[in-house]
Amino acid sequence: MGVDVGKVRIGVARTDPDGLIATPIETVQRSGETGDDMRRILSHVAELDAVEIVVGLPLSLSGGDTPSTGDARGFADRLAAAAAPIPVRLVDERLSTVTAQSALRAAGRSSRKQRSVVDQVAAVIIVQHAIDLERSSGRPPGLLVDAPAPPDERR
């Protein structure tokens, strides 16, 4: 499953069972403290029986952090804790939103009127990039997000 984290919306996408092609699922509104966004994403994880979640990591063109990088890392940390033992990976998403907007323009759709669609298309681009990278390299894409250790049950 792929996730494009934004300040207002989160695009969600999936792959087919063979991990060949990505398709959009939905755009989830960021909910902040209520955790509704996380619950909605986790419901997709369970429903799809996801084996891995890739979260887009927004980096600058030079590879450095952007104002959104910390937000994406924090979201990925919370997602890894909530989705454990399903692995969560951070994958470079440079230009995914720009590519999504270009694709929608080429299809004759105004990205301004279709912001939620842009988020879904960006999530598709992120997860498709991840599966293509894994297929070509034979290694899992991006960086594994460490989920916190389970609490000690001997207490």
Question: 95: exposed, middle or buried (C-beta count within 10 Å: 0-12, 13-18, 19+)?
Answer: middle
Domain ranges of the chain: 2-144
In whole angstroms, give the CA distance from residue 38 to residue 52. 15
pLDDT tens for the chain, 155 residues: list them. Answer: 999 999 999 999 999 999 899 999 999 999 977 889 999 999 999 999 999 999 999 987 777 888 889 999 999 999 999 999 999 999 988 755 556 556 656 666 655 556 668 888 889 989 998 998 899 999 999 999 997 765 554 34
Question: 32: exposed, middle or buried (C-beta count within 10 Å: 0-12, 13-18, 19+)?
Answer: exposed
The pTM of this model reads 0.84
In whole angstroms, give the CA distance from residue 25 to residue 13. 5
Closest CA to 50 of 11, 95, 17: 17
Domain 2-144 has CATH 3.30.930.10: no
Q: Which own/partner contact pairs does 34-38 have at CB distance under 8 Å and 24+ positions apart?
A: 37/10, 38/78, 38/79, 38/82
